[in-house]
Amino acid sequence: MSIPNFIKNIFLLLLIYPQISFCQVKQNQPYNVLFIAVDDLRTELNCYGATHIKSPNIDRLANNGVKFTNAHVQQAICMASRASIMSGIRPEKRGIYTGESVTDVLPNVLTINKFFEQNGYNIASSGKIYHYPEDTKEQFGNTYINPTATWKGKGYVTKESLEIFKKFKEGPAYEAADVHDTIYPDGINTLNAMRKLEVLKKENKPFFMAVGLLKPHLPFNAPKKYWDMYPESSIKLSELTERPENSSKYTLRVKGELTNYPGMPGSFKEIPDSTAINLRRGYYASVSYIDAQVGNLLNKLEELGLRENTIVVLWGDHGYKLGDYGSWCKWSNMNIDTNIPFIFNVPNGVKGETYTHPVEALDIYPTLAQLCQLKQPTHIEGKSLVSILKNPKKEPKTKAYAYSVWPDERWNYEKTVMGYSVTDDQYNYVEWVQLKTGEVVERELYDHKKDPKETKNVIADGQYRNVISELAGKVKLKKEATDHHHNFKNVKSN
């Protein structure tokens, strides 16, 4: 056979069998999956345009795959976001939006890790994948690697922090200890995952290895060397000091969990600039700390010869506000909270590409299933991104949307006001709906082309009448699909 005919036959094979993805013609082994979850990671990364952030390893991941800049979680809070991603079900279903455990709200669902296990994969996890310990135990059992703690509480190691922890049962909001990476949880969890990769390589089965990095979630604790990357004089305060103009009382919360830490101002008290600078510096240090752990994982894959047969996906469970709009938490439908870093690396796939149209974190499950040539479960609600991963430059045939919800008073159905958000290439539209009655009590619209930081709600501007009509139609479908008959309506009464 001549070389031209050989090439022609390969091309015909790809046409006849479109499900064969990337290098599957050359390889007979199924793909492995390295599944990296990062807590509270906003898109303030060098590869996302934030040149003041030192994130060379996540940048490396982006340079070797496809980076999604308009990716959104379906609820900007750890519990519900992760439950939705891992189950493949939107949080307005089955009471997921209340933030209760997967074990409680979804006892019989086939989660992504169980799906891979059911399909013959070895599974393992290290760090935070599910929010609740009972879910980790139920989902991973003895394949979860429990670290030996060298810290107290949420990761305190210095004498000063331990004294505060002993007195208040909670440590400070940030800490910089001159210690090795593995003295803090993310370092030891990453080391344990690297050791597990060595074991998995020796077994004659594909694997699904889930690694959950806790930082940059509060408290902002990281080894001193990462703090040293960000001199105090280099830290700038947020330029977004005010709530969005014309925003509703449901739009934002103020300080959230930050108020739980000793020395932090209460919910409606101003945070001094010096404290805000230290908090932002600690967040940046934590980002560089987890970036180093991502680098360790990538290096280990290469060292073990696994890189060319392992899909790597990195995702954040939601964004975070660092004084933006006067707020220090997530918990909203604002773009700063729903928009996440989202990167896919596929062996022999396209490299260094960026996709700017909306996608959802919910899409991870079906995408991994198709990449690994496994039959997708019928219950999952996301869409596969494989065609995008093959050709990110191709415009979508139909307009894309991403959906998110935020429930005010989520534990008391009698009072719950659900914020339904839909994002397209230009707008973020939100309807706040009294769940019990269906009454729309507030609406918001943000024009990202004119106002990318969402500083003004333009819902009353007549020029957007057609846009509002279109997006309200999309939200209507999500409202109609919401489950009202679940067992978690009155978890807490206020």
Catalogue all structural domains in the chain, each as residue range(s) with its CATH number: 30-390 (3.40.720.10), 402-481 (3.30.1120)
| pLDDT of the residue at 492 | 66
Residue 35 has pLDDT above 60, yes or no: yes
The Cα 420–Cα 434 span in angstroms is: 11
What's residue 254's pLDDT? Answer: 77
| More confident position, 10 or 394 | 394
**DSSP3 helix / strand / coil % (the chain, rounded to 5):** 35, 20, 45
How many whole angstroms separate alpha carbon 257 and alpha carbon 276? 15
Q: What angle do CA 206, 196, 351 make, to 5 degrees?
A: 60
Q: What is the pLDDT of residue 255?
A: 75
- Tell me the two tokens of residue 244: 């969005």
Q: Which tops the pLDDT comparison, 14 or 69?
A: 69
The CA-CA-CA angle for residues 479, 386, 345, to 5°, reads 110
Helix (H), strand (E) at residue 285:
helix 273-303
pLDDT attached to residue 423: 98
Which tokens sit at 459? 């819902």
User: What's the rounded Cα separation, in Å, for the pair 416 and 295?
Assistant: 42
Residue 26: predicted pLDDT: 41
pLDDT digits (tens, 9 = 90+) for 81-126: 999 999 999 999 999 999 999 999 999 999 999 999 999 999 999 9
Contacts 24+ apart (CB under 8 A), 471-477: 471/422, 471/424, 471/427, 471/429, 471/445, 472/429, 472/431, 474/401, 474/403, 474/422, 474/429, 475/420, 475/421, 475/422, 475/429, 475/431
281 has a pLDDT exceeding 90: yes
Residue range 34-59: average pLDDT? 98
Burial class (CB in 10 A: 0-12, 13-18, 19+), 100: buried
pLDDT at site 143: 98
Cα distance between residue 333 and residue 464, in whole Å: 20
Mean pLDDT of 336-344: 98
Cα dist from 316 to 34, 40, 69, 455, 486, whole Å: 14, 6, 12, 24, 28
* pLDDT tens digits, one per residue of 189-205: 999 999 999 999 999 89
Residue 253 has pLDDT above 90, yes or no: no
**pLDDT recorded at residue 270:** 86
Tokens of 105: 């709200």
Q: What's the alpha-carbon Rg for the chain, to the nearest Å?
A: 23
**Model pLDDT, residue 39:** 98
Q: 233 falls in which pLDDT band (50, 70, 90)?
A: very high
**C-alpha distances in angstroms, 357 versus 233, 397, 417, 466, 488?**
36, 12, 29, 20, 35
| pLDDT at residue 266, as a whole number | 80
The dihedrals phi and psi of 32, each to the nearest 5 degrees, come to: -85, 165
Whether residue 18 has pLDDT greater than 90: no
What's the pLDDT score for residue 25? 37
Distance separating alpha carbons of residues 471 and 401, to the nearest angstrom: 9
Could you tell me if 293 and 36 are in contact, meaning their C-beta atoms sit under 8 angstroms apart?
A: no
| Residue 94: CB atoms within 10 Å | 23
From residue 100, give the alpha-carbon distance in Å to each of 198, 228, 316.
Answer: 35, 38, 20
Per-residue pLDDT averaged across 265-293, rounded?
94
What is the pLDDT, as a whole number, of residue 215?
98
- pTM score of the predicted model: 0.93
Mean pLDDT of 246-251: 96
User: Among positive and negative, which fits the CA dihedral 20, 23, 26, 28?
Assistant: negative
Nearest to 71 by CA among 112, 41, 92, 33: 41
Instruction: Say if residue 284's pLDDT is above 90.
Output: yes
Whole-angstrom distance, CA of residue 305 vs CA of residue 75? 37
The pLDDT mean for the chain works out to 93
pLDDT surpasses 80 at 59: yes
Catalytic residues: 78, 131
Parallel, antiparallel, or unpaired: how do β-strands 342-345 and 220-223 relate?
unpaired
- pLDDT exceeds cutoff 80 at 406: yes
Residues ≥6 apart with Cβ < 8 Å to 423: 70, 72, 335, 338, 358, 401, 402, 403, 404, 429
Which whole number is the average pLDDT over 334-345?
A: 98
CB atoms within 10 A of CB 260: 13
Q: Which two tokens stand for residue 171?
A: 């440590």
Three-state DSSP state, 356 = coil
Report the pLDDT averaged over residues 124-142.
97
Q: Residue 256 — very low, low, confident or very high, per pLDDT cuts 50/70/90?
A: confident
- The Cα–Cα gap between 357 and 343 comes to 14
pLDDT for position 269: 82
Q: Is the pLDDT of residue 420 over 70?
A: yes
pLDDT score of 5: 53
- Which pLDDT value is given to residue 4? 52
